[in-house]
Structures are given as structure tokens and as C-alpha cells.
Amino acid sequence: MYEDLRNSLESIFEERLFYKIEDRISYGYDGSFGQHTPDFVVQVKSAEEVQTVVKLANKFNVPITPRGASTSLSGGPLPVEKGILMDFSQWDHYLEIFPDDLLIKASPGVITSDIHKLADQYNLMYPPDPSSSSICTIGGNLAENAGGPRGVKYGVTKDYVLGLEIVTASGEIINTGGNTVKNVTGYDLTKLIIGSEGTLAIITEATLRLIPKPLATKTAMILFDDLYTAGKSISAILTSGVRPSKMEILDNNSLNRVEDYAHLNLPREAAAILLVEVDGHPSILDKELITIKEALTKIGVDKIEIAESAEEEEKLWQVRKLVSPAIVKSGYTKISEDITLPLSKIPDMFEKIDKIKKEYDLNIVVFGHAGDGNLHPTINTNMRDQGEVGRVEDAVEEIFNYAIALGGTLSGEHGIGTMKRAFMTNEMGESGVLFQKAIKQALDPKNLLNPSKIFPIAGEKRLVLRND
């Protein structure tokens, strides 16, 4: 069987088929944990090729795992059940803008920042901007419903996808949605497929919506003496009548990591900083920052620094971008969490994490997209210290359960993958998981598309950090 499948794949893909162990191993990881070696790797470049592979997978009953640039932090592109790894990274040649329709169409391997650049040339904007945008593919963004800092005003990937071309588990090519923002013709398959992590269908093309690019931006840095007040300031700003375009928080620990790493003369003593960007017509931005300042004064916050030049603004955003590299630099393993909370509950979560940090004796850094409640508590750990790894797993479980208890969710933008599948039932209950499973079963009855993702695995009760 293995030989037959190899021959069939080779006849189509030739040098775009990989089956040597050294090639296969290099396709077995992502930005999370675990190493899983696929049986075959194929580099697809058309919907028809995807269709052919899916039909072979059906014939030989082997699973398919789609993979973009593999920057995922949740295990989405890991070929856990082996089979065929479908590499989309080489399929990046279709990228077309329709400026009068405010649309872009793209093949799945296009790098996200290339979409940003193309839109920008026409004074248009594609708002979703995950941290990895200069290296990740739009296909991966679609599969995981990627977010980024503009979520507070502009939403996430899903909010900018009008239509998809997909290959179903049985190998049919179909189109979902279309070219219009308003579309109520049948079920919203587009938004069902986006964020389904490659488990319901394989995306082969996307129609993305653009918006007019804001004329200008302005950024302020707000300093806090305690994390609780920093948390409270988020609702205060968002109910002031201004809609910030970005609103990012860094706790004292994150701030000091960045300062150690990049020496930017940051306020090391601040309990937290909030970076707030407003965008729109240049004549309005100062007024909006004054409105924000007034709202903060009411809750006793008065340390606000406004970037007065493009360079100063750039420097502030540099701080945010350096958080992850600075943490990685420390040499230990970085475990990035992704809980998301109702805005008023952010202060409670900060208090909880502070407690957990002490109780479990862990190095936890908190930063994230404060404006949409999406926090990234990030733990630095020595994976060789089995005792510490156990404490990390306990701590993460406690953070997850507290997020759920506060009315929040396990994952705001990284996805469930393998990393959080053990906690799905905690959030949505047994019936909720079964309802989702019914959809998976209906659309992929042979469980060929990215198996072992999202849904709980019998017996697995906690975070999967080790490679089994």
C-alpha cells in the first residue's frame, strides 16, 4: 500500500514529493510542542492537485495534514497521525487586487505581509496582522482565524474573508460565500471553515475584504503603578467614546525583558504599560487622545506619554514587537497562552496570575491585546526540569479554568490544535463538544482531515508539553 501511494504521488508531484526520512522530519514541528514525522510530504500548487491528493487519501485511507509556514502555537500543522503532510508554502503565486471592489484574492501560500503591502499600494488596508505576519501564510491565518493587535477596532481574520474555494474531505472543489459583505444565501460555510484548523475542508483560495486605509495614526504610552488599575483602564478607555485601533498591555516583567534585550530606556519600575493607538483623520487624533486622557484621570491614572513623531511612535511599537524575541532570548522554552476575557474581568485575571506565579514558583510574563481581552500569559521554563514542567502544566490548567469561570475562553487567536484539546469540554460541556463533533463527522466521515486536533482525546486530561 505504501509503495502504491508513493508511486501515485510521485507520478503527480515528481520532485515536489518528499519521502526520505531527513525531509520528512523537517516537516514534523510547528511553534508549539511535539515532533511528528509524516509518511509523505507533497508541495501542492493548485486546487486540482489538492483534489487528487484527497482522492488518494480516501482510496488509501491515510490522513492529510495541511501546513503553511508552521508558525502555529497550538499544534495545527503537526502530522500527529502521520500520513500525508500537505505543504502550501510553495503555492504563493496568485495574489490579485480588485481595488474598485475593495477585494483581494489569494492562493493559500501567500505571505500575509505581502497582502498588506499590495493593499497599501492602493491606499487600502487588510487589517488582520498576526505577530508572525512577515513569515506566516494566509492559509494558516485562515485555518486558525488569526488575530493580532487591531482586533479591538477591526476584528480578526474571519471578519475579512468573504469567500473561499475549498476541497472537501471527499475531494469535491466547492466555493463558499462570495464577493460581498452581505450574503445570507444558505449557511455561512466560510466562517465555519475559517478557524476549523484544517479539520473540515482544505482551503485553496480566499477572497479577502479590504477597507480604506486610515490616513494617520498616533500612539500613547500609559504607565501604571499597579496591574489592577491597568486592567480597569481598558474599560475606561473603551467607554470614553473613542475607538482605539490598537491597545496592547505589557506587565513589568515583559517590560524588563525587552529593556534587558534592547536597551530602549523603558520605565523599568512601571507595574505595566498600555500602548494605545488611535487612527483616522490626522486632525482628530490629538483630540481623541485628550478624551482618553480625561477618562483615565477619572480613575486616577495620569502618566501618559504621547509619541510626537513617527520615530517615537515606531519605537513604542518596537517595544511590543520585541516581547516575544526577548523572552525566547532567555534560552528557556516559551509556553505562550492565549486566554481571552470579558473586558471587565482583566483585572481579576491579572491578580490571579500574580498569585499563581508565586504559588507555583514560575516565571510568568503577561502581555497581550488588552483592548479585545486577549492576554498572552507566557511561561519560561526549563523543559529538562520535570518538576517544573509539572508545575507549569498545573499552572496553565488553573489559568484556563479561571478564564472559563470569568466568562472567557481558552483561546483567542492561537487555536486549540493539540495543545488545548484536553480542555474543550471544560469550556463547552459534553453536549457542546458532541454538537461540534457531529459537524466533523458529517463533513469528514472517514476522519482524514487533520485528525487528532481540537477534540479531546480519551484519557488526556491536561496540557501536552511533552513529545510522546
Residues in 243-282 at the binding interface with its own copies, rule: CB under 8 A: 243, 280-281
As beta bridge partners, residue 3 has: none
> What are the φ/ψ torsions at residue 96 (nearest 5 degrees)?
-135, 135
Task: Report the residue number, 192 or 271, with the smaller CB distance to its own copies.
Answer: 192
Helix (H) or strand (E) holding 285: helix 282-297
Within 430-449, the residues that bind its own copies by CB under 8 A are 431-433, 435-436, 438-443
| Residue 188 engages its own copies in binding (rule: CB under 8 A) | yes
Stretch that binds its own copies, among 84-92, 108-116, 327-335, 368-376 (CB under 8 A): 368-376
As measured in angstroms, the least distance from the Cβ of 366 to its own copies is 16
Work out which of 267, 300, 342, 390 binds its own copies, going by CB under 8 A: 342
Task: Report the residue number, 78 or 362, with the smaller CB distance to its own copies.
Answer: 78
Q: CA–CA distance from 435 to each of 100, 293, 320, 336, 397 (Å)?
A: 41, 46, 39, 29, 24
Give CA–CA dist 227/353, Å, rounded: 11
| Residue 159 engages its own copies in binding (rule: CB under 8 A) | yes
Q: What angle, rounded to 10 degrees, do the helices at 386-405 and 346-359 form?
A: 160
Stretch that binds its own copies, among 7-15, 305-313, 327-335, 365-373 (CB under 8 A): 365-373
Exposure of 197 by Cβ count < 10 A (0-12 exposed, 13-18 middle, 19+ buried)?
Answer: buried
Phi-psi region of 228 (alpha: psi -120 to 50; beta: other; left: phi over 0): alpha
- CB distance 69 to 23 below 8 Å: no
Task: Report the residue number, 391 or 414, with the smaller CB distance to its own copies.
Answer: 414
Residue with cell 486549540: 416
Within 137-156, the residues that bind its own copies by CB under 8 A are 144-145, 147, 151-152, 155-156
Work out which of 180, 318, 386, 467 binds its own copies, going by CB under 8 A: 180
As measured in angstroms, the least distance from the Cβ of 158 to its own copies is 7
Stretch that binds its own copies, among 4-12, 31-39, 420-428, 460-468 (CB under 8 A): 420-428
| Residue 47 engages its own copies in binding (rule: CB under 8 A) | no
With CA atoms as reference, report the closest residue to 222 among 283, 307, 287: 307
Q: The C-alpha cell of 53 is what?
A: 491528493
As measured in angstroms, the least distance from the Cβ of 428 to its own copies is 6
Within 275-334, the residues that bind its own copies by CB under 8 A are 280-281, 283-284, 287-288
With CA atoms as reference, report the closest residue to 142 among 193, 94, 183: 193
Give CA–CA dist 428/57, Å, rounded: 32
Give CA–CA dist 376/130, Å, rounded: 13
Size of interface with its own copies, in residues (CB under 8 A): 96
As measured in angstroms, the least distance from the Cβ of 156 to its own copies is 6
Task: Report the residue number, 84 or 156, with the smaller CB distance to its own copies.
Answer: 156
From start to end of 319-456, where are the E strands? 333-336, 363-369, 374-381
Work out which of 20, 93, 182, 298 binds its own copies, going by CB under 8 A: 182
As measured in angstroms, the least distance from the Cβ of 20 to its own copies is 35
Close Cβ partners of 340 (under 8 Å, ≥ 6 residues apart): 372, 373, 374, 375, 403, 408, 409, 411, 412, 413
Give CA–CA dist 64/23, Å, rounded: 17
Exposure of 241 by Cβ count < 10 A (0-12 exposed, 13-18 middle, 19+ buried)?
Answer: exposed
As measured in angstroms, the least distance from the Cβ of 163 to its own copies is 9
Task: Report the residue number, 145 or 252, with the smaller CB distance to its own copies.
Answer: 145
For 48-70, give one letter per residue: b (16+ CB within 10 A) or e. ebbbbbbebbeebebbbbbbbbb
As measured in angstroms, the least distance from the Cβ of 336 to its own copies is 14
Work out which of 217, 235, 330, 333 binds its own copies, going by CB under 8 A: 235
As measured in angstroms, the least distance from the Cβ of 441 to its own copies is 7
Work out which of 26, 90, 175, 318 binds its own copies, going by CB under 8 A: 175
As measured in angstroms, the least distance from the Cβ of 454 to its own copies is 6
| Residue 191 engages its own copies in binding (rule: CB under 8 A) | yes
Task: Report the residue number, 123 or 297, with the smaller CB distance to its own copies.
Answer: 123
As beta bridge partners, residue 85 has: 41, 65
Stretch that binds its own copies, among 7-15, 35-43, 101-109, 111-119 (CB under 8 A): 101-109
Task: Report the residue number, 35 or 441, with the smaller CB distance to its own copies.
Answer: 441
Work out which of 267, 303, 429, 457 binds its own copies, going by CB under 8 A: 429
- Radius of gyration of the chain measured on its C-alpha atoms: 23
- CB distance 43 to 89 below 8 Å: yes
Task: Report the residue number, 20 or 298, with the smaller CB distance to its own copies.
Answer: 298
As measured in angstroms, the least distance from the Cβ of 144 to its own copies is 7
